[in-house]
Amino acid sequence: MRNNKFIYADPDKCIGCINCELACSASHMDIDTNTLYSKILNGEEIVPSRNKVIKIDGKTAPMQCMQCPDAPCLEGCPVDIIKFENDYVKYYESDCIGCTSCDMVCPYGAVVMAVNKKDDAPVSQMVSLTCDLCGGQNGEQACINICPTNAISLIDYKQFDMMRK
């Protein structure tokens, strides 16, 4: 079994501030575009967040890709743009055809389908987005770095299993 890393959010520490959503959106903006703040002020569309703060039974936490060891999205992708790399599931979004197969098979509902505004969009005007761990590098995750309560961390499945015991 793969020991992929994924974002874990402690619902006992999360205050539902959505800083993680905003940081995620900002970290995935093109370098040459306006800042997230100016886009909001101007009423412009922002990049959809690859995580979403949800509330269940009075507790909040961001929900995003769980980097499944068996990755049903990888198996469901007809064009092979999803791969296991460096202990995480990587989407090659630039080659996505927008078929929604990964969205349909994700057991966590963690794939966001967004409008593909590129002129050379392969097939569809849609593209799949999901948590990419900000490139998979330890300490570089925007959501972790901005969380005011330290509710979010990068862990692997072995660590997760130890926490549940």
* Confidence (pTM): 0.82
Q: Are 88 and 51 in contact (CB under 8 A)?
A: no
CATH number of the domain where residue 49 is located: 3.30.70.20
Say how many domains are in the chain: 1
| 3-state class (DSSP) for residue 136 | coil
Over the stretch 70-104, which tens digit does the pLDDT of each residue have?
A: 999 999 999 999 998 877 898 888 888 889 999 99
pLDDT at 31: 45
**In Å, how far from its chain's centre is CA 59?**
20
How many of the other CB atoms lie within 10 Å of CB of 33? 12
99 is in which domain, residue-wise? Answer: 5-164
71 DSSP β-pair partners: none
Tokens of 142: 């925007």
